[in-house]
């Protein structure tokens, strides 16, 4: 019997490997990807099972070894997918379709992982209390004028660690440590919650600006309870001094064990194609990686920006150093 999504999320045992199915271990919340998987199943007849694995994905795959039922992993961050690859639990996928649909900058040179979407790490700013042009760079977040005015989630969250790694790449570890100390000094409260909680805090007057990912604005506007929060803030695309706006990815890789390899490849190629990329754009309000697929009208309304020139590999390689710095300044304390 095919397992339901709920049972898969709650299950402590491994996913069953069944014929004509694909099993996914996902860092992404199931509700964000379910519309895509439903569309794939409708088109191909191939069922997709998802297990939400928030932490320890690489360790889980190593422990399962060749017995792992997982065909694919979906991640929320370049460092997360690199972590799985470096654990030796993925395999190269040589696909002309993926190479044609996904630009080289958004896939591994050895075909171990492929980006499916991109998102910018931006600033949410109060429409009432922050003037246009008040914040233009990530470096400016340590300006004393923001003291007691910034909210953010944990400094050890994947998204903030990636931003910190990018800061190291631009300015070095000494500068970044000072930057983290200055950012911490400007916080209105201890880091807590997720990105949407920071926008709620702006709405409630607890802070004036926060760090967040672009697509959360679309999610809040679609939620009757959270729409008011979203309408209290606007999106600003800061840049690094001498660089552009920090961009991260959601990525996919095939596991080494992959019991349903052919079906898994079909899903990977489908997710990189026009239909899936359009769903990503319209429903999740993310930036498609396939050239020529338009952003949603809502995303277009947020404005244009110049992505930073750092490579994804540079950001992933500096993740350990970024984590060490965040911990050294006791950012969440």
Q: How big is the chain, counted in residues?
A: 333
Give the pLDDT mean for 47-71. Answer: 95
Domain presence at residue 19: yes
Domain presence at residue 65: yes
Whether residue 91 contacts residue 256, with contact meaning beta carbons closer than 8 Å, is answered with: yes
Same domain flag for 73 and 83: yes
Same domain flag for 72 and 173: no
What pLDDT was estimated at residue 19?
A: 52
Name the least confident of 4-13, 31-40, 171-180: 4-13
Percent of the chain having pLDDT more than 90? Answer: 87
Whether residue 53 contacts residue 26, with contact meaning beta carbons closer than 8 Å, is answered with: yes
pLDDT tens column, 283-330: 889 999 999 999 999 999 999 999 999 999 899 999 999 999 999 999
Same domain flag for 150 and 270: no
Of 284 and 278, the structure prediction assigns the larger pLDDT to 278
pLDDT tens column, 181-217: 999 999 999 999 999 999 999 999 999 999 999 999 9
Same domain flag for 221 and 165: yes
What pLDDT was estimated at residue 84?
A: 95
What pLDDT was estimated at residue 270?
A: 98
Name the least confident of 3-17, 82-96, 255-269: 3-17
- The three-state secondary structure class of 107 is strand
Domain presence at residue 299: no
* Domain assignment of residue 282, given as a range: 5-117+248-294
Same domain flag for 195 and 88: no
pTM, entire model: 0.86
Same domain flag for 238 and 127: yes
Same domain flag for 101 and 168: no
Same domain flag for 221 and 324: yes
pLDDT band at 76 (very low <50, low <70, confident <90, very high): confident
Domain presence at residue 222: yes
Give the pLDDT mean for 82-86. Answer: 94
Domain presence at residue 105: yes
Same domain flag for 43 and 102: yes
Question: How far apart are the C-alpha atoms of 59 and 315, rounded to whole Å?
Answer: 22
Q: What is the mean pLDDT of the chain?
A: 92
pLDDT tens column, 11-53: 434 444 445 899 999 988 777 789 999 999 999 999 999 999 9
- The three-state secondary structure class of 290 is coil
Give the pLDDT mean for 157-184. Answer: 97
How many Cβ atoms from other residues are within 10 Å of residue 105's Cβ? 12
Q: Nearest Cα to 109, choosing from 322, 321, 311, 318?
A: 311
CATH of the domain at 84: 3.40.190.10
Domain presence at residue 333: no
Same domain flag for 199 and 274: no
Same domain flag for 310 and 175: yes
Same domain flag for 73 and 12: yes
- Into how many domains does the chain fold? 2
Q: Does the pLDDT of residue 2 top 50, yes or no?
A: no
Q: Does the pLDDT of residue 149 top 50, yes or no?
A: yes
Q: Does the pLDDT of residue 7 top 50, yes or no?
A: no
Domain presence at residue 12: yes
- Which residues does residue 151 pair with via DSSP β-bridges, in sequence order? 210
Domain presence at residue 197: yes
């Amino acid at each position: 019997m095919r397992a339901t999504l709920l049972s898969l999320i709650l299950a402590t045992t491994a996913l069953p490997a069944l014929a004509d199915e694909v099993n996914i271990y996902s860092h992404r919340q199931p509700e964000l990807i379910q519309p895509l998987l439903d569309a794939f199943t409708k088109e191909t007849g191939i069922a997709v099972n998802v297990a939400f694995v928030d932490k320890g994905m690489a360790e889980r795959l190593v422990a399962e070894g060749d017995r792992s039922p997982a065909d694919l992993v979906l991640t929320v961050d370049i460092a997360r997918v690199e972590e799985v690859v470096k654990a030796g639990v993925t395999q190269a996928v040589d696909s002309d379709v993926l190479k044609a649909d996904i630009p080289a900058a958004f896939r591994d040179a050895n075909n171990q992982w492929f980006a499916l979407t991109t998102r910018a790490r931006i600033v949410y700013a109060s429409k009432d209390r922050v003037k246009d042009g008040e914040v233009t760079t990530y470096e400016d977040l340590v300006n004393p004028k923001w003291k007691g005015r910034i909210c953010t989630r944990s400094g050890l969250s994947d998204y903030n660690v990636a931003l910190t790694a990018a800061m190291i790449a631009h300015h070095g570890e000494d500068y970044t440590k000072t930057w983290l100390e200055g950012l911490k000094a400007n916080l209105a409260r201890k880091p807590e919650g997720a990105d949407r909680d920071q926008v709620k805090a702006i709405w409630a007057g607890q802070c004036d600006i926060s760090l967040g990912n672009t697509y959360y604005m679309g999610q809040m506007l679609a939620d009757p309870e959270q729409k008011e929060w979203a309408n209290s803030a606007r999106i600003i695309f800061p840049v690094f001094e001498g660089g552009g706006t920090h961009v991260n990815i959601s990525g996919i890789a095939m596991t080494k064990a992959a019991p349903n390899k052919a079906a898994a490849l079909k899903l990977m190629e489908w997710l990189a194609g026009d239909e899936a990329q359009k769903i990503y754009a319209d429903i999740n309000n993310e930036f498609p990686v396939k050239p020529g697929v338009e952003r949603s009208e809502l995303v277009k309304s947020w404005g244009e920006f110049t992505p930073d020139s750092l490579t994804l590999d540079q950001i992933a390689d500096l993740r350990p150093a970024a984590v060490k710095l965040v911990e050294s300044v006791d950012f969440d304390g």
